[in-house]
A and B are shown apart, each in its own frame.
Chain A
Amino acid sequence: MMNSEEFRRSVYERAAEYKAERQRKQRTAVKYASVCVCFCVLVGIIAGRPLIRDSVNETLISGTTSPSDSTVASTVADTTSAQTTPAVTTDATGVIATTDAIIAVTTSDTAARTTAGTQATTTSQTAEEHNVYVDDSELKYAITFYGNDDEIAILSTLGSVGSRIERIAVADSDEYMSRFGLDVSMISAGYDLPDEAFFDSQYLVFIYVRGVQSNVLHDELIDIWTLTYGADDEVNLYLYKVPRGSYTTFRLDVE
């Protein structure tokens, strides 16, 4: 049996030992908790990336401006007006005066946006962003492109292209025909294909739209051809030249 002094020392030693053990356990618990928090944050970031990307796209859309009609940008988020059919008027040159609903209506059509995005991706291999504004009901299309020496980006995908836009292709060199599978016979003989020098400062955008053309709404539109593409349906090919290093927005009005 221990004497009083030994017993007292034993008690203090045990207390110190238990305290140290307790602190060690607390530190371990904190360590595990930190690892768990980091893991959860990481998972959250990975899971949230598509949402963040969508959010960025929405921001890009909001920032899109049209050289000829600033109302496009200002009404991107106007979902109220999206529910109404806009009165579309054109001026002498055929430019649409009201395009509010073109963008706004289509912002809610996620499924169609996906369709459009897929089409753009498969045909525009250099595009990092590909965004198309479409109002399926009115068949108004506003598309913003950005290009520079290294990349061509189609900005601000929105909207229901549906079955109307068959395909979007972007060409940044004279190899575009083979790169994008374009058939020269599709293009009318009235247009001379650009040479390599053309692509030093510009690139071409091809948009295949099913439907009868009505108004063409961009200064940089090179030509429109009605052709047979895919099935036997009639498809209009809108061909644009777009300056490199600048944002360019153009709209289609197809009936």
Chain B
Amino acid sequence: MNHKSRTADIHSAKAEQQVPWLEWLASAIGLLLVVGIFGVIGWQAFNGATMPPAIKVEIESVTPVEGGYRVLFRAHNTAGEAAAQVGIEGMVSAAGADTETSQVVLDYVPGHSVRQGGLFFTHDPHSGSLAVRAIGFAKP
């Protein structure tokens, strides 16, 4: 009996010791997260988060698909503000043929972020010159 109650005492003592340790861990993680998040947001406040969007388009790949060619691109917003309704236009101009234009609209390109998309052409972009650029955006 005596022995039993002693083990119970040890157990409850252990539990009392363990709880603050876990609590400290949880609060340390919480504090780190909060400080980290506020740090990142505060940092962008002083680093051009309100610069209007500037969108750079890079061509990733050109692949023949059924009915034409698929051009994959990455639109990279190099400024801090997000852009909405970003129009992307691609032009294939081959010698002796009409210029072919394809367009697509990206819903959002957040600041300093990358969105991917694709354009379809019926003429081979390799046969002439291919230019893809952003033609406009709206403020979200």
Is the pairing of A and B real? no
Interface residues in chain A, defined as those with a beta carbon under 8 Å from any beta carbon in chain B: none
Interface residues in chain B, defined as those with a beta carbon under 8 Å from any beta carbon in chain A: none
